[in-house]
Chains A and B, each alone.
Chain A
């Protein structure tokens, strides 16, 4: 949609060299971030790696064992269900709430901002144990539904921030009034004006929530445990059995998170084009 503009003061022949400390800083950052990931990848295919700097040999045996593990597909499926359900619930709760607060109840904005920090302040263990005690009746007790409710709370700030920023940036209040004066009702305003304009915020929120929930361990373990085993639970189980297989699981987990991210981004960009086309007259 938005075409990038060339900067007016671009000087093609003169390249600015980064200072030494800048190179060091960027190098250090990359080292810090990448070493754990690279070593996990390498460890998942290494035969023996305790006497040498680089592994003594390479094998795909651990991937074989990972894929063969009982529960592999089930935990993967459970994790996907949990993550996607959380993204969905989160979207349904957060987007209309933020929109309403920004357009009708501006005074409640600070309150909402504070509420959205709370999940960071409550230790996950406490949250899990409290929820288990309060909702100890069927069908909620120790069920996946309770788990989804819990991770929605836990991951809410990751959805709230990007969505709230996006709504703030488009001046939702005036957009709404402009839409209404042209005959649109609230749902048409939301679907045709507000959502298309905050789509980047919705997407980045969805990505953050998906990634966070896909790797969630504490709440899952304490609320449902073996009843609804997710991928991180299986991974932790294997760290006690075989580190290499656990690494292979981690790599698989990374890869899935990446793939889903790309998928969400792709669907998002498609959606935006479709929306624009649907309303096009010519």
Chain B
């Protein structure tokens, strides 16, 4: 049995489904991200776990017991908000001690605990300051410390880094992951930033329009997306619409693409072939590899991304994106005629109608 179980959860606002038949098991001590565009229901689901939103139907069980009838202040679930939500009238120390005081923790223990969590977020020297005297990143660390001080059964983070600078975001997400694994605290992390979700999660739940699109490890989500939405929302993917032809070919726009085995597809079925840009190689002369997909095209755009350069290539009227690293390619220029090549196992085929 999982530590936190969400079963058949439904929630709608004014007849519009915000979350539809949501099912999820979360293991004790793991970090699970809810990832999706705004309005996909990820925050609503988080707030239902916290107790700030009522469920229309379904159950939420924590450590075996139903928590739906329990009011938010008795759920023993900590939360970190996007807007930090530190209490402006209290110092950092008082903010962190607040939850412990609500639990009537003895003074000595409170003191000890506050110091522990301040150590954990590495902000011991700010204890006497007020929230407005801290930077955004510091405030969010204190908010994290405050939520952890009461040793909650589950920690919820609602887009905790959205209000921060890119640089602070990267540092802080590492910190969150470090602290989370140190304490082995069961954590649910809501974000719309795929890079964030992929880099810190044990499991990612990709959501769209109130539905779960896919649940998996970051690698599974990236390498084996189960829907076009997941493939395009997580990273970039070239999409070729076509029809299956034979047991390992797809006919797209008069070009035959070699794919893996097409078991489970009917002959002539409308499918879409997905290829990640980093799997597309670029050659200036026609390559001789056998059993690879090789197509000619002209470079239309060149965008420098640092580690890779992204090429927009016109293949038969369709834009194909290829990422090349500086180390293993010759220089390219606009309008240059080139050859694109990618192996059959880089092609992921899924049914086109959705």
* A residues lining the B interface (CB < 8 Å): 1-2, 170-171, 174-175, 177-185, 188, 192-193, 196-197, 272, 275-276, 279-282
Chain A residues near B110: list those with CB within 8 A.
281
* Contact between B114 and A183, CB atoms less than 8 A apart: no
Chain A residues near B74: list those with CB within 8 A.
183
Given contacts A182-B98, A183-B99, contact A193 B87 (CB under 8 A): yes
Chain B residue nearest in CB terms to A277: B94
Chain B residues near A175: list those with CB within 8 A.
85, 87
Chain B residues near A276: list those with CB within 8 A.
89-90, 94
Chain A residues near B85: list those with CB within 8 A.
171, 174-175, 177-178
Chain A residues near B52: list those with CB within 8 A.
177, 180
**Chain A CB within 8 A of B122 CB:** no
A234 to B99, CA, bound (A): 54
Q: Is the interface of A mostly helix, strand, loop or mixed?
A: helix
* Contact between B97 and A188, CB atoms less than 8 A apart: no
Chain A residue nearest in CB terms to B76: A183
**Chain A CB within 8 A of B3 CB:** no
* Contact between A181 and B93, CB atoms less than 8 A apart: no
* Contact between B98 and A279, CB atoms less than 8 A apart: yes
Among A171, A177, A183: residue with most chain B CB under 10 A: A183
Chain A residues near B86: list those with CB within 8 A.
178
7 new A-B contacts at CB < 8 Å, known A182-B78, A281-B107: A177-B85, A179-B87, A181-B78, A182-B99, A183-B103, A193-B89, A281-B101
**Chain A CB within 8 A of B72 CB:** yes
* Contact between A174 and B88, CB atoms less than 8 A apart: no
**Beta-carbon contacts under 8 Å, B60-93 to A:** 71-74, 76-79, 81, 83, 85-91, 93
Chain A residues near B156: list those with CB within 8 A.
181
Smallest CB separation, A93 vs chain B (Å) = 24
For chain B, give the interface size range.
35 or more
Chain B residues near A196: list those with CB within 8 A.
89
Given contacts A181-B147, A182-B99, contact A197 B73 (CB under 8 A): no
Chain A residue nearest in CB terms to B86: A178
Chain B residue nearest in CB terms to A3: B133
**CB-defined A-B contacts under 8 Å, sample of 5:** A171-B85, A179-B87, A180-B71, A181-B77, A183-B99
Option from B90, B114, B150 in Cβ contact (under 8 Å) with A279: B90
Chain B residue nearest in CB terms to A178: B85
Smallest CB separation, B43 vs chain A (Å) = 12
**Chain A CB within 8 A of B282 CB:** no
